[in-house]
């Protein structure tokens, strides 16, 4: 018989059960993993997305929009700036590149609203820059 640390026998017997029980346990584990990392992720996002344009650009980077569209919506003057943000965010493990017909797009891993950050409105950014 192999040695298992205290408490592991209970988990092993539950995981060796039916598939539904395994899925339920995996969801429970995922819930706690997400919870345990929320503070660190929020702090990293607050530090990285340090202005309204970056925050909105990250929020819009769901893999469905290209850099041109995000640039227009956010008021970021250059699509190159958007792609530079994407590269930085990928290196920080805040998202991943997804292949599309014309190249790649960035898809964020985290929903900033779920982490308690407020996503600015695009028109508000435009008015603030002009004023």
Count of domains forming the chain: 2
Q: Are residues 110 and 126 in the same domain?
A: yes
Say yes or no: 40 and 55 in one domain.
no
Cβ atoms within 10 A of the Cβ of 107, count?
16
**44 and 83 housed in the same domain:** no
pTM over 0.95: no
Segment 15-38 shows an average pLDDT of 82
Cα(11)–Cα(24) distance, rounded to whole angstroms? 12
Residue 105: strand pairing partners: 98
Helix axes 122-130, 67-74, angle to 10 degrees: 60
Q: Two tokens at 107?
A: 């898809």
**Side-chain half-sphere exposure of 125, counting CA atoms within 13 A:** 18
Same domain? 84 vs 59: yes
State how beta strands 103-108 and 95-100 pair. antiparallel
Do residues 54 and 106 both lie within one domain?
Answer: yes
Q: Residue 127's domain is classified under what CATH number?
A: 1.10.10.10
Written as six digits, the tokens of 93 are 């493990």
Note down the domain range covering 2.
Answer: 1-48
Q: H-helix or E-strand containing 103?
A: strand 103-108
The pLDDT mean for the chain works out to: 84
What is the structure's pLDDT at 83? 96
Assign 126 a pLDDT band (cuts: 50, 70, 90). Answer: very low
Question: d(Cα 113, Cα 16) in Å, to the nearest integer?
Answer: 37
Same domain, 68 and 43: no
Whether residues 27 and 61 share a domain: the answer is no
Pair (57, 41) in one structural domain: no
């Amino acid at each position: 018989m192999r040695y298992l640390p205290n408490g592991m026998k209970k988990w092993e017997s539950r995981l060796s059960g039916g598939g539904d029980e395994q899925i339920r346990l995996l969801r429970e584990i995922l819930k706690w993993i997400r919870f345990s990392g929320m503070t660190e992720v929020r702090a990293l996002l607050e530090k990285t997305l340090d202005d309204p344009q970056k925050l909105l650009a990250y929020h819009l980077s769901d893999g469905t929009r290209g850099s041109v569209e995000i640039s227009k919506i956010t008021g970021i003057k250059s699509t190159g700036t958007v792609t530079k943000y994407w590269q930085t965010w990928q290196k920080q493990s805040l998202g991943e590149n997804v292949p599309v017909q014309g190249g790649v797009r960035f898809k964020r891993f985290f929903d900033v609203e779920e982490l308690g950050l407020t996503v600015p409105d695009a028109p508000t950014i435009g008015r603030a820059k002009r004023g």
